[in-house]
Amino acid sequence: MIRSFAFAALVGVAFFPCSVAAQSAIDCGYPLNNAERTFCAEQALLEAETEMAAAFGKALARMEELDEPLPEHLKGGPDALRAAQEAWTDYRDKDCLAYSYPFRAGTRGNMSRLTCMIFLTRQRGEDLLAMIEDYSQ
């Protein structure tokens, strides 16, 4: 997940090296060109990743609560969740790259990848929150 944040930050600098004032003038409700669309998609991805990270933190905390009273031979839920999140992030990145591959030669390639990543990241956050709810019953 940290790798994704760093990647998105680097991509933002590489594709849209404008001042903060210029970036704040962009209306992401109506981006006018590819640079603005890329900037807005990267901002949406950062927001989705932030929300997912918060959901992951809550899920991990709940998993640790459930793990604590268990005998040693049954413990391991938090480690399993961390490994699952790492595997999920790798899956998301590779799946979205594959999804966008046919469009790589044009301007849609990057946007297809970013849109895919936003969608899957939001879904993962919802899944983590649903997991917390399942464990609360």
What's the pTM? 0.78
**CATH number where 36 lies:** 1.20.1270.180
Residue 122 or 10, more confident: 122
User: pLDDT (tens digit, 9 = 90+) per residue, 30-70?
Assistant: 878 888 888 999 999 999 999 999 999 999 999 999 999 99
- pLDDT tens sequence across 123-137: 999 999 999 999 886
In this predicted structure, what is the pLDDT of residue 29?
Answer: 84
The pLDDT assigned to 2 comes to 41
Q: Within 10 Å of residue 113's Cβ, how many Cβ atoms? A: 22
Judged by phi (left if over 0) then psi (alpha if -120 to 50, else beta), residue 30 lies in beta
- Please give the structure tokens belonging to residue 70: 């268990």
Structure confidence at residue 22 (pLDDT): 53
Which pLDDT does position 108 carry in this prediction?
79
Contacts of 61 (CB under 8 A, 6+ apart): none
Q: How many Cβ atoms are within 10 Å of 99's Cβ, its own excluded? A: 16
Instruction: Output the six-digit token pair for 120.
Output: 């899957």
| Total of domains in the chain | 1
Query: Which tens digits make up the pLDDT trace of 10-33?
Result: 344 444 445 554 556 888 888 788
Q: Please give the mean pLDDT across all residues of the chain.
A: 85
Exposed e or buried b per residue across 9-40, where buried means at least 16 C-beta atoms within 10 angstroms of its C-beta: eebbeeebeeeeeeeeebeeeeeeeeebbbbb
Distance CA 43, CA 26 (A): 11
Domain with 42, as residue range(s), is 2-135
Q: How far apart are CA 64 and CA 78, in angstroms?
A: 6
